[in-house]
Copies of this chain bind each other. A is one copy, B any other.
Amino acid sequence: MLSTATPHAAAPFNRAAVAASWVPKSDAAANQRASQATSDTLKLLGDRLSPQRRVVHAGDVIYQAGERFGNLYILNSGFFKIVTVSPDGREQVVGLKFRGDWLGFDGIANNEYACDAVAMDIGEVWIVRYDTLLAACAAQPALLTVLHEAMSREIARDRDSLMSVCTLPADARVADFLRYWAESLAKRGMRTDQITLRMTRAEIGNYLGMTLETVSRALSKLARDNLIRFVEKGRRDIHIPEVNALSEFIQGCLAPAASPVLQ
């Protein structure tokens, strides 16, 4: 029971083997609770901060790396990608943002934003001056709680991202990406059976650490296996009959030789 090497990366610890073939199931009740929580939080923020609102269109840049920090942004609707550029010019999509997510936390530490926030669709962001927010938090502890929870969620999510990139083979990474997107929608009360990817294959590949061709091949494979279906013309709309099936597919990628019956 020593480190059973995973397909993609070594597993240097001994605990991995424990949770054999348990597959996490999407929990409809939990999603509904989360959806309510998102709405409640947005209502709280809207009421207490009465923030400035801004309608954005695909491609709009809310803030850019290097720009002086001052505002945090709350995404009321639409989809954003977060992009960083290394000093030597490498670009990387490092995060995706959905309704209820905050943008701009990265700017607090050095008083300037560390990345770009780019809208991927029509949407609305709420603009909150950071110092105004802090003042409001002093009077309303509930606001501070909400703020910290948002930062905490972002930290936890970033780690999941790293885990996916480090431990999953390409096909599974794409499946996990779709699962994540669908779950994100489900947690916000949006329909999850049919999703519209607002990213090109190249962007998805960049986010997942693979080439656009590999993304395309992975999607084709998922379609062949009936885990997804391309809707109509255009390959941006994807029908996912059963989100849980994606999780099982990921499992299958990890333990290709394990027979579930024997042993």
Please give the residue numbers on chain A whose beta carbons come within 8 Å of chain B beta carbons, in ascending order.
Answer: 3, 5-6, 8-13, 15-24, 82-92, 94-95, 105-109, 114-115, 134, 137-138, 141, 144, 148-156, 158-163, 165-168, 200, 202-203, 205-212, 250-251, 254
Contact = CB atoms under 8 A, between A and B. Distances in A.
Please tell me how many copies of the chain the complex holds.
2
Given A12-B200, A92-B162, 17 more contacts: A9-B206, A10-B202, A12-B203, A12-B205, A12-B212, A15-B85, A16-B85, A19-B89, A20-B89, A24-B88, A82-B159, A86-B167, A88-B250, A90-B163, A95-B159, A109-B153, A167-B209
B206 A94 contact: no
Contacts of A5: 211
29 contacts: A6-B90, A9-B210, A10-B206, A10-B211, A12-B205, A13-B91, A21-B88, A82-B159, A84-B159, A84-B160, A84-B163, A86-B167, A88-B250, A88-B251, A90-B254, A92-B163, A92-B166, A95-B159, A105-B151, A108-B151, A108-B152, A115-B159, A134-B141, A134-B144, A137-B144, A155-B158, A165-B166, A166-B206, A167-B209
A107 to B, nearest CB: 7
B254 A155 contact: no
A213 to B, nearest CB: 8
Contacts of A6: 90
A108 B256 CA distance: 36
A19 B167 contact: no
